[in-house]
């Protein structure tokens, strides 16, 4: 059993951080006078802050611990979640989609769907998104609960309840603004906590050259070629050539197109940060500013997993031994805690654990603030109490924070069935974000798309995801939450491969059904779609902006650097 003994200085660092986090909420409480202040920060935050918050809201415990776990399980192919599965979509949302979100003055993504399509489309997305945020927040809770119980011996239930209480307090006090400023703080903590870990681990492994040689031995032992864990594209020639069990088309279509654009372009969790910016230009720069550090994050969160699996089972001071789950499989989720306990002395250990706690709070707070906004504006105000005062909706937002966190605690227990929480997270995205992206793509760029088409497309896309998941199962998995509950007619090499194809089926079904139904139903008048469809929307003026503030040139630089990284680690 992995156990870490904290010194007094470690507890002091953790304590100072928690006091500081709650202090931010207390300091901002007096500014939370309206529902707009609580849910959208009054649209007053500078671009550099919203940019870091845009990144940090996604940099939750499920990413920090989950990506490290994926690095140990799948190797450097996990970098595709950044260089293929994030950066291009972040550029797209900044250049093309933020003018619709910010310019329409919609308070949420579901509200944009109402403006573009109709009420039933908004309602379907609001409910599915609320469910998704509960699951995603639950994954963060599970990650932190398992961390504290495994490393420190704390009770699992008490750990998740304590963690949930801290997040509840600072969101209740300061709303989205509190979450955003804490996310900026958490970004710098994560960098400071994990950068030394990477340097120490890489030094212990003997440098990059010796690390890749060790990974080649591990891959050969697993039955793959020597490059399976250390090359990002070469092993994707066949599903049997890499641990992820995916080929290049499944990677590009499933992750690079459907899941990536589905998440970054439509997930209100991250879009909400850009919508809090103080101008249209700042809102468009928000995801582009976030993209620069995002492309470097594989070094911080994936490389530790690769180092850990390369050194797993070796003897001596640089050896690791992964803890086991109840089914006997390696508990990859413990990659980061394992390395923290191995490398960091007192003081540094406290900083590392504080960085992990920060990542947990960042991810959970992002989901909770998105949940309370969608619940209040798109469900409660729309279907339960339409004409209440602004003060009442502010009160309801705070209540939504309370019961949203309560539901997240329940969802945390479902994550226990996965030995890699990133597998579970991508499954949730495949059900919700994949079909939603097809709806947005058609709605924004095809003025003929109708509300009936969008609603039935979303419905059929979600059902297609359920059908595919119910008819398939990952290799070695039991029938249940991982699939096969309609009859396991097909087996995938891994959970992640199954997720990618679930997303492809969901997107394709939604795309086709939306087109077919739209062609046989009446479209809205063009005058009603101004500002909601690309061809009918006035382009934001950029003549007075310096080149480094224009989305187009920034996007080209970002895509060029990302392509270079793909070539280097090909």
**What DSSP string describes 484-509?**
-TT---EEESSHHHHHHHHHHHHHHH
Residue 462 binned pLDDT confidence (cut-offs 50, 70, 90): very high
Q: Rounded CA gap, 288 and 194, in Å?
A: 23
pLDDT of residue 162: 78
How many CB atoms lie under 10 A from the CB of residue 209? Answer: 9
Reported as a single tens digit per residue, the pLDDT across 350-383 is: 888 888 777 777 777 777 878 888 888 888 888 8
Reported as a single tens digit per residue, the pLDDT across 243-278 is: 888 888 888 988 888 888 888 887 777 887 788 888
Look-up of token digits 């087996």:
491
Higher-pLDDT residue of 318, 562: 562
Mean pLDDT of 105-121: 83
Contacts of 508 (CB under 8 A, 6+ apart): 438, 464
β-bridge mates for residue 330, sequence order: 324
Q: Is the pLDDT of residue 545 over 80?
A: no
Question: What does pLDDT average to over the chain?
Answer: 83
Q: Rounded CA gap, 43 and 55, in Å?
A: 18
Within 13 A of 251's CA, how many CA atoms are on the CB side? 22
pLDDT of residue 40: 65
Q: Are 142 and 421 in contact (CB under 8 A)?
A: yes
Residue 480 binned pLDDT confidence (cut-offs 50, 70, 90): confident
Contacts of 391 (CB under 8 A, 6+ apart): none
8-17, 132-141, 514-523, 524-533: range with lowest mean pLDDT? 132-141
Structure token pair of residue 316: 């001596």
pLDDT of residue 416: 62
36-40, 70-74, 334-338: range with lowest mean pLDDT? 36-40
Reported as a single tens digit per residue, the pLDDT across 74-93 is: 889 999 989 998 999 999 99
Please name each of the domains of the chain with its CATH number: 81-568 (1.20.1730.10)
Residue 313 binned pLDDT confidence (cut-offs 50, 70, 90): low
114 phi/psi in degrees, rounded to 5: -65, -45
Residue 16 binned pLDDT confidence (cut-offs 50, 70, 90): confident
Q: Rounded CA gap, 13 and 159, in Å?
A: 18
For residue 277, give the 3-state DSSP assignment: strand
pLDDT of residue 505: 95
Q: How far is CA 239 from the centre of its chain?
A: 25
Q: Is the pLDDT of residue 317 over 70?
A: no
Q: Is the pLDDT of residue 112 over 60?
A: yes
Q: Mean pLDDT: which of 29-33, 54-58, 291-295, 518-522 is highest?
A: 518-522
28-32, 441-445, 479-483: range with lowest mean pLDDT? 28-32
Q: Rounded CA gap, 369 and 170, in Å?
A: 11
Mean pLDDT of 166-194: 78
pLDDT of residue 22: 78
pLDDT of residue 438: 93
Residue 325 binned pLDDT confidence (cut-offs 50, 70, 90): low
Contacts of 231 (CB under 8 A, 6+ apart): 76, 569, 570
C-alpha closest to that of 433 among 60, 86, 157, 128: 128
pLDDT of residue 67: 85
CA angle 431, 434, 436 (to 5 degrees): 100
Higher-pLDDT residue of 553, 139: 553
Structure token pair of residue 506: 């969901």
Q: Is the pLDDT of residue 236 over 60?
A: yes
| Rg of the chain on CA atoms, in Å | 23
pLDDT of residue 406: 81
Structure token pair of residue 321: 């031994």
């Amino acid at each position: 059993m992995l156990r870490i003994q904290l010194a007094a200085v470690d507890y002091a660092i953790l304590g100072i951080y928690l006091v500081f986090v709650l202090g931010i909420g207390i300091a901002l409480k007096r500014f939370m006078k309206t529902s707009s202040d609580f849910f959208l920060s009054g649209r007053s935050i500078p671009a550099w802050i919203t940019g870091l918050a845009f990144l940090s809201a996604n940099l939750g415990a499920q990413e920090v611990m989950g990506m490290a776990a994926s690095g140990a399980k799948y190797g450097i192919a996990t970098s595709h979640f950044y260089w293929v599965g994030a950066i291009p979509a972040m550029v797209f949302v900044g250049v093309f989609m933020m003018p619709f979100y910010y310019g329409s003055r919609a308070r949420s993504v579901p509200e944009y769907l109402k403006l573009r399509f109709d009420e039933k489309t908004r309602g379907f997305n609001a409910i599915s998104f609320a469910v998704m945020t509960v699951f995603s927040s639950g994954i963060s809770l599970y990650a932190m609960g398992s961390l504290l119980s495994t490393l420190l011996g704390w009770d699992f239930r008490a750990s998740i309840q304590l963690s949930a209480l801290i997040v509840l307090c600072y969101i209740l006090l300061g709303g989205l603004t509190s979450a955003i400023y804490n996310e900026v703080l958490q970004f710098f903590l994560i960098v400071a906590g994990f950068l030394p870990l990477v340097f120490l681990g890489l030094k212990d492994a003997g440098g990059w050259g010796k690390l890749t040689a060790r990974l080649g031995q591990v891959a050969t032992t697993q039955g793959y070629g020597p490059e399976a864990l250390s090359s990002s594209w070469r092993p994707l020639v066949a599903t049997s050539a890499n641990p992820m069990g995916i080929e290049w088309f499944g990677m590009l279509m499933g992750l690079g197109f459907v899941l990536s654009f589905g998440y970054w372009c439509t997930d209100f969790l991250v879009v909400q940060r850009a919508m809090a910016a103080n101008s249209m230009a700042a809102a468009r720069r928000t995801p582009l500013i976030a993209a620069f550090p995002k492309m470097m994050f594989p070094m911080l969160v994936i490389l530790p997993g690769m180092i850990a699996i390369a050194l797993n089972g070796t003897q001596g001071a640089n050896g690791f031994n992964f803890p086991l789950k109840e089914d006997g499989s390696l508990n990859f989720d413990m990659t980061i805690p394992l390395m923290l306990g191995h490398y960091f002395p007192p003081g540094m250990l406290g900083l590392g654990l504080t960085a992990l706690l920060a990542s947990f709070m960042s991810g959970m707070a992002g989901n909770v603030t998105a949940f309370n906004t969608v619940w209040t504006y798109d469900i409660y105000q729309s279907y339960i109490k339409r004409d209440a005062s602004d003060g009442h909706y502010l009160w309801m937002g705070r209540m939504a924070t309370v019961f949203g966190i309560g539901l997240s605690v329940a969802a945390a227990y479902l994550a226990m069935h996965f030995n890699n929480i990133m597998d579970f997270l991508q499954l949730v995205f495949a059900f919700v974000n994949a079909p939603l992206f097809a709806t947005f793509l058609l709605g924004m760029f095809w003025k003929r798309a109708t509300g009936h088409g969008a609603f039935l497309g979303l419905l059929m896309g979600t059902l297609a995801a359920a059908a595919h998941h119910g008819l398939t199962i990952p290799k070695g998995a039991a029938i249940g939450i991982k699939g096969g509950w309609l009859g396991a007619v097909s087996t995938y090499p891994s959970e992640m491969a199954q997720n990618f194809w679930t997303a492809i089926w969901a997107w394709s079904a939604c795309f086709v059904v939306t087109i077919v139904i739209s062609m046989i139903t009446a479209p809205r008048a063009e005058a009603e779609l101004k500002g909601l469809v690309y061809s009918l929307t006035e382009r934001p003026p950029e003549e007075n902006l310096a080149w480094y503030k224009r989305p187009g040139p920034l996007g080209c630089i970002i895509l060029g650097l990302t392509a270079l990284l793909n070539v280097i680690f090909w």
